[in-house]
Amino acid sequence: MDYMEIVFALKAILASNDATEFAIVERHSHPADLAAALAKLTTADQCRLLGMASPAVRAQVFGYLSAKQQGALTAQFDRTRLAELLLHMHADERADLYNQLPEPQRDAALPALAQVEREDIRRLASYPEKTVGAVMTSDYATLPPDLTAREAIEELRRIAPDTETIYQSYVIDASRRLMGTVSLRELIVAAPHARVGDLMTPDPVSVPANAPREDAVRLIAKYDLLALPVINGGDMMVGIVTYDDAMDIEQAETDIDFRKVGAVSELGKGLKEASITLLYRKRVFWLVLLVFGNLFSGAGIAYFEDTILAYVALVFFLPLLVDSGGNAGSQSATLMVRALATGDVVIKDWAGMLGRELVVAGLLGATMALAVSGLGLWRGGPEIALVVALSMQLVVIVGSVIGMSLPFLLSRLKLDPATASAPLITSIADGTGVLIYFAIATAVLGLPGVD
């Protein structure tokens, strides 16, 4: 069923209150599509429909809802219904929901769960936000090394209903120390009496639970893993980060970086859900700060007032030149922020990248200088054409170097390189471009220096 068919079907079910019809929709729809359709209904209608779903499907659908929708729904749940939901959710989603619940609901729901689930929730919820531990799940398959391939397959068949993935199993010893990994395919094609310890890949790639969550994304992408084991001191395995969770993290981090590049603070919610007041607060700081930064451009223009009065034609090219420097700087900054974020470039690469950027920016500047020199010749004659061409060459080079270097500087200062946003780069390049342009004009046109 497509999205609109599900919406119409759910509205019909609400009118008829027919749980049998909901079971049919549930069977023929993906939980993500069901969640998207439910989001179009009121909270009361969502509660009614989720009440018709089987516990397992209800938990799956709930995991695809936004945090705001989850909060509105759980506020309507009694203790029994909330405990049932927590019991059937994936471990990582369950911990996330637990962290969102008000204290009274936490205290009411936990006693209704078995001790194993209570301890698992508390452990996963205890990791700091944006660490690997906060996004890992404890629903993973483990095998001892002395099992045979046949026994291992039987064990996976037994634990599969409560495990997020069985395609990759983790071999651990009696102390839960991670020894290696073995895939389901390897177990199936192996001789029935082959030992897991002989089939496993030893010393697998892993990540500490207290590491930044971006480390997990980078390792999963680098080694093309379905899941990444998480350890917590002494190589003791405590969870896994799955490929789909890594994709969610990457999307969230990319969204944050895009907003920072535009000099917009993190909203914490969707754009459609953000209020006018929130949007104002998240955007006003950088805009006001950059207003004062742009005063340097105005001061530069005032400083070279005599040059401007002598050659009014210079004003025609001012926006063109300073915008070109800002554009070149923004391009360089965007490339460098992304390279630093993915690990393609590290801080020690700055000198080598600077040399390459100077060459590239020189070629770009020469091309743009050639393109604009004809316009300068037409508007002001050979001398103005020379000023404009030289200024374009230098402005593009300087803007590119600023755009490339600022992310490195912020990384060195332990700040987010994405803060080297396009508006910030543009403001710096504008002020620098004004000084370069009028300094070259003053020198080439033989005007007296400014006292």
Residues 50-103 have pLDDT tens digits of 888 888 888 889 888 888 888 888 888 888 888 888 888 888 888 888 888 888
In a domain, 401, yes or no: yes
Tell which residue, 376, 403, 381, has the closest CA to residue 392. 376
Convert the pLDDT of each residue in 122-150 to its tens digit.
Answer: 888 888 888 999 889 988 999 999 999 99
Decide which of 191, 217, 249 is a domain's last residue. Answer: 249
Q: Are residues 336 and 426 in the same domain?
A: yes
- The pLDDT value recorded for residue 257 is 62
Residue 451, in any domain of the structure:
no
Q: Same domain, yes or no, for 158 and 45?
A: no
Task: Look at residue 295 in the predicted model and tell me its pLDDT.
Answer: 66
Asked if 330 and 208 sit in the same domain, the reply is no
The pLDDT-based confidence of 262 (bands split at 50, 70, 90) is low
> Where does the pLDDT of residue 279 fall: very low under 50, low under 70, confident under 90, or very high at 90 and above?
low
199-257 residue pLDDT tens: 999 999 999 999 999 899 989 988 989 899 999 877 899 999 998 888 888 877 766 66
Phi, psi (deg, nearest 5) at residue 188: -70, -40
The pLDDT value recorded for residue 258 is 60
The sign of the torsion formed by the CA atoms of 334, 427, 289, 284 equals: negative
Query: Same domain, yes or no, for 172 and 54?
Result: no
Domain count, the chain: 3
275 in any annotated domain: no
pLDDT at 451: 45
Q: How confident is the model at residue 449 (pLDDT cuts 50, 70, 90)?
A: low
Rounded Cα gap, residues 128 and 240, in angstroms:
16
Average pLDDT, the chain: 84
My answer on whether 124 and 19 are in the same domain is yes
CATH number at residue 82: 1.25.60.10
Handedness of CA 258, 260, 266, 270 (dihedral sign): negative
Residue 281: inside a domain: no
Q: Which residue do the tokens 């896994």 mark?
A: 240
Asked if 369 and 436 sit in the same domain, the reply is yes
Cβ–Cβ under 8 Å, residues 426 and 375: no
Q: Is the pLDDT of residue 157 over 90?
A: yes
DSSP 45-95: HHHHHHHHS-HHHHHHHHHHS-HHHHHHHHTT--HHHHHHHHHHS-HHHHH
How many CB atoms within 10 Å of residue 48?
17
User: Among 234, 249, 264, where does a domain finish?
Assistant: 249
- Report how far residue 70's alpha carbon sits from residue 195's, in angstroms, rounded to the nearest whole number: 45
Same domain, 26 and 98: yes
Q: Is residue 283 part of a domain?
A: no
Task: Identify the band that residue 191 occupies on the pLDDT scale cut at 50, 70 and 90.
Answer: very high
Print the domain residue range for 241: 142-249
Which two three-digit tokens encode residue 336?
Answer: 């460098």
306 plus 438 within the same structural domain: yes
Shared domain for 298 and 407, answered yes or no, is yes
Q: Are residues 83 and 122 in the same domain?
A: yes
Query: Is residue 52 a contact partner of residue 13, using CB atoms and an 8 Å limit?
Result: yes
CATH of residue 343's domain is: 1.10.357.20
pLDDT of amino acid 419? 62
Q: What percent of the chain has pLDDT over 70?
A: 88
Higher pLDDT, 393 or 340: 393
Say whether both 177 and 66 belong to one domain.
Answer: no
The answer to whether residues 79 and 23 belong to one domain is: yes
- Please say which residue of 102, 128, 154 terminates a domain: 128
- CA distances to 258, 330, 426 from 262, in Å: 6, 11, 11
165 has pLDDT over 60:
yes
**What pLDDT does residue 198 have?**
95
Query: Does the residue 245 lie in any domain?
Result: yes
pLDDT score of 6? 87
Residues with Cβ < 8 Å from 292, sequence gap 6 or more?
none
- What pLDDT score was predicted for residue 151? 95
